[in-house]
């Protein structure tokens, strides 16, 4: 199962048919996929499902209708245990960005965090998870697939938001401020702070 967020609402790509009444089902045909995305974007549905019996194929088929853009980013912690946040589009977010051609995911994540925040001496600890959301660019829907990494740094220098990316603030946040920031963030960012399922 893949959970793709469209305007903060879940579009679930699944190989299972759940009980009726849990959301509307769409087939994996291009027009059906776009209908589902449009309905969620316009808030006509609170959630939707796209069904295909082969889960391994479902994401590839989905990206024929909504092309994939691969990105990577980081959940960066400093020596004080604070997490690095950026503020853009009136929301708290985490640094991330689109990978260049032939650029590895880890290299992309490190580059994007440094470019968007000015933080250096980054070290990847481990892969966290992949999140998915749909956005619209030049009248076309795109699927952003973001690969997230836990990172750490000893950097104590100035934080510089990348203006060309619309970043107006960069802040280190401790537990209480993280909780407050997540109230004004995106669902895919909040997911990264959920406790792991054992």
- pLDDT over 80 at 195, yes or no: no
pLDDT given for residue 197 in this prediction: 46
Tokens 């510089």, residue located: 160
d(CA 186, CA 173): 17
CB-CB contact of 135 with 142 (8 Å): yes
Domain 68-191 belongs to what architecture?
A: Alpha-Beta Complex (3.90)
The pLDDT tens digits for 99-151 are 999 999 999 999 999 999 999 999 999 999 999 999 998 999 999 999 999 99
DSSP labels for the chain?
-EEEEETTEEEEEESS---TTS-EEEESSHHHHHHHHHHHHTTS-S-EEEE-S-HHHHHHHHHHHS-EEEEEEEEEE-TTS-EEEEEETTEEE--EEEPPTT--HHHHHHHHHHHHH---SEEEEEEEEEEEEEEEETTEEEEEEEEEEEEEE---S-----GGGT--EEEEE-HHHHHHHHHTB-HHHHHTTSPPP-
| 138 or 84, which is more confident | 84
| 194 or 10, which is more confident | 10
Residue ranges of domains in the chain: 2-65, 68-191
The tokens for 1 are 């199962």
CB-CB contact of 79 with 154 (8 Å): yes
Q: Which residues pair with 171 in a beta bridge?
A: 85
pLDDT given for residue 194 in this prediction: 85
Q: Cβ–Cβ contacts within 10 Å for residue 73, how many?
A: 27
The pLDDT tens digits for 13-69 are 999 887 656 678 999 999 999 999 999 999 999 999 999 999 889 999 999 999 999
| 138 or 171, which is more confident | 171
- pLDDT over 70 at 196, yes or no: no
The tokens for 4 are 């793709």
pLDDT given for residue 198 in this prediction: 42
By C-alpha distance, which of 172, 187, 179 is closest to 75? 172
> Distances from the Cα of 177 to the Cαs of 88, 124, 181, in angstroms?
17, 23, 6
């Amino acid at each position: 199962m893949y959970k793709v967020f469209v305007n903060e609402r879940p579009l679930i790509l699944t190989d299972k048919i759940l009980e009726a009444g849990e959301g509307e089902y769409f087939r994996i045909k291009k027009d059906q996929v776009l209908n589902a995305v449009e309905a969620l974007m316009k808030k006509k549905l609170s959630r939707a499902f796209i069904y295909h019996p082969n889960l391994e194929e479902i994401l590839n088929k989905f990206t024929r209708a909504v092309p994939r853009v691969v990105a990577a980013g980081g959940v960066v912690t400093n020596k004080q245990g604070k997490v690095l946040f950026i503020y853009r589009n009136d929301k708290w977010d985490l640094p991330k960005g689109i990978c260049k051609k032939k650029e590895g995911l880890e290299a992309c994540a490190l580059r994007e965090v440094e470019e968007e925040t000015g933080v250096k001496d980054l070290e990847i600890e481990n892969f966290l998870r992949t999140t998915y959301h749909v956005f619209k660019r030049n009248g076309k829907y795109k699927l952003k697939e973001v690969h997230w990494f836990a990172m750490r740094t000893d950097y104590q220098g100035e934080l510089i938001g990348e203006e060309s990316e619309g970043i107006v603030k960069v802040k280190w946040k401790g537990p209480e401020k993280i909780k407050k920031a997540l109230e004004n963030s995106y669902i895919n960012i909040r997911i990264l702070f959920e406790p792991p399922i054992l």
